[in-house]
Structure 1
Amino acid sequence: MGQNTTIAWTYQPETASLASRPQVIPSPGAGELVIDNRAIGINPVDWKLIHANPLNWQQGHIPGVDGAGIVSAVGDGVDQSWLRKRVAYHAALKFDGSFAAYTIVRAERVMVMPESLSFAFAAALPCPMLTAWQAFEKIPHHHGYSVLIAGLGAVNKLLVQMLVQSGLQVDVLSRSVTDYEARTLGIRTIYRDPSEIKLHYFAIYDANSGSHAASLVPLLKANGHIICIQDRIPAPIDPPFTRTISYHEIALGALHDFGDAEDWQHLMHKGEQLMARVADRKLWVEEPVEFDFTEMPEALKHSEDSKHKTVVVREEFCP
């Protein structure tokens, strides 16, 4: 392998799988950075798209949305001070992503990491952390109001803490959450089945499906909010001018297509603040399970089968 060639994991349409292939170290265009990836986060969207390929990826496409590493090159119009900075990022699904030694990212779409945060931990954060923040921002935060969260994956575990720390009372509908997690996250009440719920809520966050979210709308108070983190409700449930429910949908990846520079500046600024809170242990995040870069297929399978946060590290670099 030549001096300017390294390795990437690329998509193989015939088998809906990945293969390790040589990668020429990319050169940045105007406004871009090249990230020397030291760790790569695995998210459900990664293995779901590899299985189904809804975006019609071609042979050789590099998947992966989350990564953390060091800026190794900058393009025209980018300040040279970015060189050697430790950064984390969320990449667009339509372009080559993080499952490689090097990834190109727009300069306005990276977050500078706290010095105390490891690459492996930082790579586990962008997708769930930024999605949780988008969901958090959808509603006003009235101290003492009650909200319900349905489902408790990586996104909602962060969201619970953000809501609790803002002064809201948070209940959770989940068959898997433990009493220890409830105490750690600040959850008030755990419901195992919707039939147990007798309260009405100012807001409900659902991470299951649009139909599941729709089934919870009757549990909202007047002027309440339903926020879909997975899927969406296509049409209002209530008749017009009755309870006047507000419907929200969350799609972090959509910002790559429809967000402007101001949107990204706001999100990356909040992301840096949230990473600092994680580094300072003010937000609890479970330790990710680590695999070596050579074990990318095994890491994807582990993520899918275990539902535990999984990262891939380039061992020769990561602390």
Structure 2
Amino acid sequence: MTVTTNKAWHFDRAGRALYQEDTTLPDLASDEILIKNKASGINPVDWKFIEDDPLNWPKGRIPGVDGAGEVVATGAGIDEAMIGQQITYHQSLQHDGSFAAFTVVKANRVMQLPNNMSFEFAAALPCPMLTAWQAVSKLPPSPGAKVLVAGMGAVNKLTVQFLKRADYEVHALSGSLEESEANALGITSVFRDAEDLPQQYFAVIDAVSADNATKLVSRLQANGHIVCIQGRIEKPVDPAFTRTISYHEVALGALHQYGDEAAWTALMKDGESLLEDIQTGLIVVDDPVLFPFSEMNHALSHSKQTKEKTVLDTDG
């Protein structure tokens, strides 16, 4: 399939709405593939970077880290047998992304879809699924240990399920989590206010903010773990050689910048196994809210205002 033009939404400048324009696709490098997007997932990282532009994007950058579609072309070093594969992916913030008809990605950074998983559903998964997986992977195995999860969006609903699979006792700090959903997820206790937390925890996984994570360090036991998904703790909270906790931060961008081929192969293999478990119902994920491609900016606003998982019908 020969493709030269790309219908896409582009970054203008910080805080401005995206604009739509057709552009010319670049030639594929030897390790790259071209994906015809069927659906594009919207994540908080997308609208945050569009609003604040921390990477100093050039005008014309195509945002979007998550997408799902079909491989339509391969670079010279990639087996053409990949053409026709149905995949989902997480793209680097340093490169043109998924808010487009076509996206160029590294061939080793995609996950094949399970049979009968829709593109729209798949596009909602890579960022929250892989972030939650990496967050839990930061913790050394300790079956039965108590872990506090703070913030209950798409990432931590998956985090809870991964923790339960690893035999942790999970508690939640959330002002919005309903008791029925907590029970369904297997959460032992839900607290509305940090002041009500009754005990010391082996680990805290925070998806709220650096300030929130900092306050929760006091709830850790000796040699405990704090895992930050939204903002890092810049300075140790305790004096040296006191509580002796371990600080962790999670960002998929780290692998894009510093990960080698073996690390990507391992993560994509894990991701494909998780996709299979989601498809068979072993892991529960809410259905996303779907918007047409033409309503890109409306979809971004919806994602920000409601915190609901939002997906564009890119092929519609």
The equivalent of 2:143 in structure 1 is: 143
4+ aligned runs moved over 4 Å, structure 1:
none
Checking the alignment, whether the CA contact within 8 Å between 1:36 and 1:103 is kept in structure 2 is: yes
Change (3 A) 1:266 1:3: closer
Any residues of structure 2 matched to 1:165-184 within 5 Å, and which?
A: 165-184=165-184
Partner of 2:292: 292
Alignment of 1:189 onto 2:186: no
| Whole-angstrom distance in 2 between the partners of 1:123 and 1:265 | 20
The equivalent residue for 1:306 is 306
Please tell me whether the aligned partners of residues 150 and 207 of structure 2 are also in contact (alpha carbons under 8 angstroms).
yes
**CA displacement at 1:4 relative to structure 2:** 4.0
User: Counterpart of 1:63?
Assistant: 63
Partner of 1:256: 256
What number of residue pairs does the alignment pair up? 315
CA distance in 1, matches of 2:19, 2:78: 33
The equivalent residue for 1:80 is 80
- 1:163 alignment partner in structure 2: 163
The 2-side partners of 1:13 and 1:144 are apart by: 48
Q: CA deviation at 1:132?
A: 0.3
- 1:1-319 to 2 correspondences below 5 Å: 4-13=4-13, 16-316=16-316
Cα distance, 1:266 vs structure 2: 1.0
Please give the alpha-carbon distance, in whole angstroms, between the structure 2 residues aligned to 1:239 and 1:105.
Answer: 44
Q: Does the CA contact (< 8 Å) of 1:65 and 1:97 recur in 2?
A: yes
Quote the Cα distance in structure 1 between the aligned partners of 2:181 and 2:79: 43
Amino acid at match of 1:273: S
Amino acid across the alignment from 2:186: G
Instruction: Give 1:235 deviation, angstroms.
Output: 2.1
Compute the TM-score of the two structures, normalised by the length of structure 2. Answer: 0.96
Contact 1:26 1:34 in 2 (8 A): no
Identity of aligned residues (%): 50
> For 2:45 and 2:57, how far apart are their aligned partners in 1?
14
CA apart distance, 1:115 = 1.4
| Cα distance in 1 between the residues matched to 2:72 and 2:164 | 39
> 1:3, 1:225 → 2: CA distance?
48
Mapped to 1, the partners of 2:187 and 2:302 lie a distance apart of: 28
Q: Does the Cα contact within 8 Å between 1:210 and 1:231 map onto a contact in 2?
A: yes
- 2:39 is aligned with what amino acid? A
Provide the C-alpha distance between the structure 2 equivalents of 1:147 and 1:281, rounded to a whole number of angstroms: 24
Encode CA deviations 1:148-192: one digit per residue, 9 max, x unaligned: 011111110000001012111100000011112101211110000
Structure 1 residue 44, shift from structure 2 partner: 0.7
TM-aligned CA deviation for residue 108 of structure 1:
0.9
Amino acid at match of 2:309: K
What letter is aligned with 1:298?
H
Q: How far apart are the structure 2 equivalents of 1:171 and 1:158? A: 14
> Does the 8 A contact of 1:16 with 1:52 survive in 2?
no
- Structure 2 residue identity aligned to 1:88: T
Provide the secondary structure at the position in 2 that maps to 1:59. Answer: coil
- AA aligned opposite 1:57: W
* CA shift for structure 1 position 3: 7.6
What is the SS of the residue equivalent to 1:49? helix
2:15·2:50 contact (CA, 8 Å) conserved in 1?
A: no
Distance 1:255 1:290 in 2: 29
Change (3 A) 1:238 1:77: same
Partners of 2:315 and 2:63 lie apart in 1 by 20
2:265 is paired with a residue whose SS is: helix
* Corresponding residue SS for 1:40: strand
CA contact (8 A) 2:228 2:249 kept: yes
- Mapped contact 1:111–1:269 kept (Cα < 8 A): yes
Flag structure 1 segments of 5+ consecutive residues without an equivalent.
none
> Any conservation in 2 of the 1:9–1:62 contact (CA below 8 Å)?
yes
Given that 1:146 and 1:171 are in contact with CA atoms closer than 8 Å, whether structure 2 keeps it comes out as yes
Following superposition, the deviation at residue 239 of structure 1 comes to 2.1
